[in-house]
Amino acid sequence: MIKTTSGYHWLTVARRWSEIPAPMGPWPSEMKIYQKLAKKYLKGIKKPKILILGATPQMRDIAHAFRNAEVTCVDIDVNMLFAMSSLLKNPQNADSEIWVKSSWITVPLKENYYNLILGEAVLGNVPFMLWTKFLQHLQDVLRHNGYFVSRVVVTDLGNWHGKNLDEVFSYASEKKLNFIELYFLLFYRIFGSQKRKMSNLDMYKTIKKYYNKKKQRYVLENRYVEGLLNKIAKYLPASPFQWSNSPQAFSEKYLKRYFKIIAKEFGGGESQFSSAYHPIYLLKRK
């Protein structure tokens, strides 16, 4: 078994990651949008230079579909780069990639260099206070006519929040949501639709408090929801890491400072709840 410096088996990490469904990663319909946009805007470039934010295998597969592409992946955790490589359509493609273990905000890459940056739901990983620095840095490394394609997870989901947690669970049970969809719904129900820092730890605390107070037994009476909650606990443990998600208008305000929004597309079909709400932006460097 191959092990890494962090002391965990990266093949196990890869297996666990592959078991986590969309919307943690892109839905197939969203993948088609990424592919379409990348194909359209890299047309005619003989040796496209593509920067991948993170180690997401789907994004790396899109990049490797272009012959002669120079693919650079940046992740703060080198183990993720190793782990996710085994999930590539052709894992050998990882050998030709340039790997960078660094923060996205300080990564010392060449300026005005990349034709395309792909980042799957990356904005929410960056603390709000660093959004300006982050987007500025992406702008710097992009060529003047380069593009940044990214799905942005937003918090304004219309009526899907539900009035209370019971309603959220009823909805999840009725629509047979997967555990990540329920996770997203719980987040938005608990933290609201405003710009907020959200952590799994706070979410678990709120759920516990709610049920202790109301002495509700709903979850235990609904096997389906109980199963989903068990999976959330298994795959997304109570960590203090804070996601920085915001309403669409707030994210766009920041994106527009450094990029021109060329297109905004939504996936659809797989899930009424999530794919229709998180836009994939095609952004051109200003």
Partner 1 sequence: MSVLTHLQGFLKIQWGKMGPPLVPSEGECRITKGFIKKGRPRILILGSTPQFRDLAHSLGAQVTCIDMNLDMLTSMVELMKYSRKASQEAWIRANWLQAPLKENYWDYVMGDWVISNIPLKIQPLFFKKISLLLRPGGFFVTRHSLYSGNIITFLGAIDNFLNKKFDISHVVMPAAHLSFNPKTYLSETTECRRMAQNIINDLIKNASDKKLKIKYKEILKLIHYYLPSGMTWTYTPTEVLEKMWRPYFRLTKIAITQDHLLPAACPIYFLKKH
Where along the sequence are the contacts to partner 1 (CB under 8 A)? Answer: 2-8, 49, 70, 72, 78, 82, 97-103, 106-111, 113-114
Q: How far is the CB of 88 from partner 1 (least distance, A)?
A: 16
Rank residues 85 and 193 by Cβ distance to partner 1 and give the closer one.
Answer: 85
Rank residues 61 and 70 by Cβ distance to partner 1 and give the closer one.
Answer: 70
In sequence order, the 6+-apart residues with CB closer than 8 A to the CB of 121 are: 150, 151, 152, 153, 278
Rank residues 19 and 111 by Cβ distance to partner 1 and give the closer one.
Answer: 111
- DSSP secondary structure letter of residue 246: B
Q: Are 52 and 74 in contact (CB under 8 A)?
A: yes
Rank residues 96 and 230 by Cβ distance to partner 1 and give the closer one.
Answer: 96
H or E stretch at 117: strand 114-120
Rank residues 95 and 174 by Cβ distance to partner 1 and give the closer one.
Answer: 95
Three-class SS of residue 148? strand
Rank residues 138 and 225 by Cβ distance to partner 1 and give the closer one.
Answer: 138
Q: How far is the CB of 249 from partner 1 (least distance, A)?
A: 33
- Residue 282 to residue 55: CA distance in whole angstroms: 20
Q: How far is the CB of 132 from partner 1 (least distance, A)?
A: 19
Residue the block writes with tokens 């959220």: 168
Residues 132-147 as b or e (16 or more Cβ within 10 Å = b): eebbebbbebbeeebb
Tokens of 236: 């997304």
Q: How far is the CB of 5 from partner 1 (least distance, A)?
A: 4
Residues for the chain: how many in total? Answer: 286
- Residue 199 to residue 238: CA distance in whole angstroms: 8
Q: How far is the CB of 58 from partner 1 (least distance, A)?
A: 21
In sequence order, the 6+-apart residues with CB closer than 8 A to the CB of 69 are: 47, 48, 49, 50, 63
The whole-angstrom distance between residue 130's C-alpha and the CA centroid of its chain comes to: 17
Q: How far is the CB of 76 from partner 1 (least distance, A)?
A: 9
Q: How far is the CB of 97 from partner 1 (least distance, A)?
A: 8
Q: How many CB atoms lie within 10 A of CB 255?
A: 20
Rank residues 110 and 234 by Cβ distance to partner 1 and give the closer one.
Answer: 110
